[in-house]
A and B are shown apart, each in its own frame.
Chain A
Amino acid sequence: MSERKLALSDDILLRIEKPVRYIGGEYNSVMKDPAKVSVRFAMCFPDVYEIGMSHLGIQILYDMFNSMGDVWCERVYSPWVDLDAVMREQHIPLFALESQDPVKEFDFLGITLQYEMCYTNVLQVLDLAQIPVNAADRGEDCPIVIGGGPCSYNPEPLADFFDIFYIGEGETRYRDLLNLYKECRKQGLHRVQFLRRAAKLPGMYVPRFYDVTYKEDGTIERFFPMEEGIPETVCKEIVMDMTDTYYPTKPVIPFIKVTQDRVVLEIQRGCIRGCRFCQAGQLYRPVRERDVETLKKYALEMLENTGYEEISLSSLSSSDYSKLPELVDFLIEECSKRHVNISLPSLRIDAFSLDVMSKVQDVKKSSLTFAPEAGSQRLRNVINKGLTTEAILKGAALAFEGGWTRVKLYFMLGLPTETEEDIRGIAELSNQIAATYFDTVPKERRAGGRVQIVASTSFFVPKPFTAFQWAAQCTKEDFLDKAYLTRTAISEQLNQKSIKYNWHEADASVMEGVLARGDRRLCNVIRKVYEKGGFYDAWGEYYDNDRWLQSMEECGLSVSFYAHRERSLDEIFPWDFIDCGVTKEFLKQEWEKAKREENSENCRQKCQGCGAARFGGGICFEPRQSSDTD
């Protein structure tokens, strides 16, 4: 094969940071002959290469599309700030990595939406690709721009920019969509005719066929399809058989160091816990496990196909995977033969996991992570995080006995019903853990003296499809007051020297809150922010809060309306037209229970009737365990 011609000249590549981001050619990247495929699909993660390449979802879809003989899927990521400037200056169209061909020549441009602060990068990608940012302006030759990922569960703030949103898991419905596309092309149909038919496919939301009207008070009066035959509700797509489906056993391996530099094994989807703040836990219901024998096979295949020296298990709550002990024993044995490290995030801290972790990690150098999320038992009950103080301290004691000396604690500030006492609880809990160390480990065995506890707080953002979607988000000033209170409370603790406290900027959290529960009117805001030069908003050094505030004002919209307003129970939400399995009624009940500080049992303990059982599979149909250790 002759040498691939790069889209960027040597002059540019030698001038910019990390030119490797833009050359493609990585091991396991797929090259096809464009003349021999019917559909060219550009799959985009709207952030810089290193972030995008760490995302498992794109690897799964890349593998899926390229396994189709008539499709060639290539990758595209946001050019970094330096190249962005050059591309604009020299009118270089955004290109896909494998072929280096301009994205505007492709049939589809798929953009995954993982977090709200990447929305301006979506516009950057479209703009650099020389595709009209507004879907309504796109001509017959433009690629179909399709969005997916968790943020597509409230697609409205981006409704102007996408032709289609794919709601749900990507493994199921693309074949139908591409067949439809090919059929329409063969018949010589226009773009809008294709989109009209696509809108009738399960899982597809085509914004141009829906309209929305507002009441005096700004809330939604009606959200409705504008034509006959366009569905009123879009039901999410879900893979019911997690074992007999695509999995990238030959993931693309970047040359440069990326955030996720290891084999990733997705062991299950969904989560049984039902924590009330957690959107992912609701969206991916019901819990579906991958068969353990298949996982073992994938693990070995992937290590062979990649040469990675580390393997990691990915799921929302790995401790709940029913065959975890068996899988972990297998991995420990196989990995020690192969000089492979094992990484096990999202584990509950108990005797089992500590035993496992001591076998796979250097106890002295690694830290144990607890995520109490709230400082008091009362508030933990409100958010339905079943982790008791007793369990945390017991786990900590076991850990310290086992030789760990570093503990990380994750909390949120601004949860509904939070009081000062709850916040002080963060400091007190951190202190109790430090005290446990000194109680558990006798002086002689304290290598280096002190235990290191790092407490981090993030600011709570209410999300769609959670019990807290009605909650008011705190103002930036309230957030900072709470962080200050936390810091003061920690400094007053007996063991304050052993505790370090980290908190983050509040500005971006509030704007995230605006976008998360936003409606279509926010499209104008996002466009304005982008036109004013805003992008890479997920990066602290580029996020400009004033630019967002100014844009909101210029569009006549209020931050308070979207973020700080508590919703009434009968309000119509911009995302109500989507069916994610979990019913609004169930979420209302959970909201009420939260206010009463009542726990709900997890899926394995007792079905709460959330609605996900109607998908006919997963944990909903497995025999319940009567006991559960927390």
Chain B
Amino acid sequence: MRVVIAEDSTLVREGLTRLLAESGIEVAAAVGDAESFLRAVDAQQPDAVVVDVRLPPTFSDEGLRAALVVRQRWPGTGVLVLSQYVEERYATELLGGRGDGPAHRAAADQGAGVGYLLKDRVGNIAELLDALHRVAGGGSALDPEVVSQLLTRRGRPLDTLTARERQVLALMAEGRSNAAIAATLVVGPGAVEKHISAIFAKLGLPPTEADHRRVLAVLAYLGA
């Protein structure tokens, strides 16, 4: 897999480059600002990009906006956004779940992989690589913290779910596949499928198979 990294802190950029390289991922370019990031993506056509939300010059959300541009212009490229803080508002903008604009919707429809993780997760190589592979493969990776923000914000209808169903819903929202959910909860795949159909029935969601669409459905329901 080939990736392009955009991260303004030299320290983190170098570390990330080495870490990915040592894990067998080719880092095609590692840059420090949004403009050179977009140029690098254009030139390298990577399988996935890793972007920090805050980039120069204003250090507000340049990285996020650059990520949206990538999603719109190169829909086949998986986008993994890293941030010191995760905000569900950023997550929904990124996923285009709320339909902020035609570009977002188009990107969502084309099923480009997208992920949004707390920067802390880079300390866990397996987790990071799993997320990166998921977004490169067109899936999603949402930080559990964002998911829990969404789950707590939406109150009452979720009360009808059992504790186990809520666990499954959270993992689904993170972008996990049925198999991954089964492995995490140490249950059989059949049990997971049963839970999922119960959740979809209780929340009145149309049943769907593809992981990414499933995430969007869940997020749409959660009011994201």
Q: A and B from one assembly?
A: no
List chain B positions with a Cβ less than 8 A from chain A.
none
